[in-house]
Amino acid sequence: MVVLTRVVAQGTFDILHPGHLHYLREAASFGSELHVIVARRENITHKDPPIVPDRQRQAMVEALDPVDEARLGHTEDIFVPIERIDPDVIVLGHDQHHDEAAIADALAIRGIDCTVERASALESTDDERLLSTGQIIDRILEQRC
């Protein structure tokens, strides 16, 4: 019998860059099946809203090799897709604003038995490497405006 280990990663994934790929590859290494929840524009309140529309961001993430399935987040409750996926592990991005303990508590209250991990940062010694959407936007503004 083959036992699948379902992993969930989540994020905005606006303007894909090497940091996103590093995060998803590392998240995939925690199990055998990677599900990605792409945040809906309307739910993003901790930073500027994404430039790329929701369904396009979902399609781009789903096309990446480490990803088995990408879906949009729920409009009202971030835990609804997690309940549907029933993961064994949730991997947070190294710089995501979420608190691991608070998420673990919310999962326990909902009866979701999984661990919460934090991905490592992608280190870069190359000054030209763009590791965030903000850096990409800044570079575009510098060079094109």
Q: Cα 116–118–121 angle (5° rounding)?
A: 170
Provide the pLDDT for residue 127.
65
Which pLDDT does position 105 carry in this prediction?
A: 93
Residues 37-51 have a mean pLDDT of: 92
**Rounded to whole angstroms, how far apart are CA atoms 130 and 83?**
34
**Residue-wise pLDDT tens digits, 67-113:** 999 999 999 998 999 999 999 999 999 888 888 899 999 999 999 99
Residue 36, pLDDT above cutoff 80: yes
95 labeled part of a ligand binding site: yes
For the stretch 127-139, pLDDT in tens is 667 778 888 888 8
- Residue 13 assigned to a binding site: yes
Residue 18, annotated as binding a ligand: yes
Q: Which domains, ranges and CATH numbers included, belong to the chain?
A: 6-144 (3.40.50.620)
Q: How far apart are CA 99 and CA 79, in angstroms?
A: 14
Asked if 14 and 52 count as a contact pair (C-beta separation under 8 A), the reply is yes
Judge whether 35 is annotated as a binding position. Answer: no
